[in-house]
Amino acid sequence: MSRCWIALGGNQGPVADTFRDAVALLNRVAGISVTRMSRCYTTSPVGANAGNEFLNAAAELQTTLPPLELLANLQAVETQLGRVRSVHWGPRTLDLDLLLYDEQMLSTPVLTIPHPHMWYRRFVLDPLAEIAPDVIHGGHGLSISELRERLLSRPLKCVLLGGPVDQRVDLQRQLEAEYPQTDWPTESPESAWLAFCFESVPQVEGIPDANRIDVQAFPTAPEQTIRDVLAAALDSVRSV
């Protein structure tokens, strides 16, 4: 029996009721048992197309299903409860993300464990820290509560790596103005824990790979600019 954690989110319809229905449906699947659930958190939408405020929660599961089979069942429940994937990062009735599966590290075209974006998202870490504060994130070697605490410190230390210098300087000026509680230490980039990386990223000593966000691979809509991508990530940090 494996122990897993999932994130629940939604901003369309009676979301709290949808969460309860999702838990009930998961409990009916052979090999899945929902053993713990956080309270619901009201969070700000992230991204220009996201719509209204969200509810977010986290749940602990016990399962005998392997990761990909568990993911398929999560997606089946989303569909049963009205999830339609028509707008990327758009409004949704229900989102079920597999965050952690025991201590496994997995990377496939359809599933990465731990979830690749959970470590800097308050709307994931706040509810998860409520039910799994001491669980270790394998990529960072830190507990969920420790990851969350890092998001609360101000100023938030960030760095831009790679890409044309002029573009990088211009983006940094925009972000400094829009996010006054951030600090962009150009003289000591290794002091930043949130590193946005462009193509041909230089290896900067002291910045772990786990703290890097690949801007080119970020899951965003085609019409969104790099500034939109960076802003969405920073909104995730302060989204509660």
Residues with catalytic roles: 83, 92, 95, 97
The DSSP 8-state label assigned to residue 40 in this structure reads P
Identify which of 191, 228, 9 has the alpha carbon closest to the alpha carbon of residue 118.
9
Cβ neighbours, 10 Å, residue 209: 9
**53 forms bridges with which residues in the sheet?**
none
Nearest alpha-carbon partner for 50 in 182, 238, 236: 236
DSSP 3-state assignment of 56?
strand
Q: In terms of C-beta density within 10 A (0-12 exposed, 13-18 middle, 19 or more buried), how is residue 183 classed?
A: middle
Residue for token digits 């599961």?
61
- Asked whether the beta carbons of 94 and 20 are under 8 A apart, the reply is no
Contact 26, 73 (CB under 8 A): yes
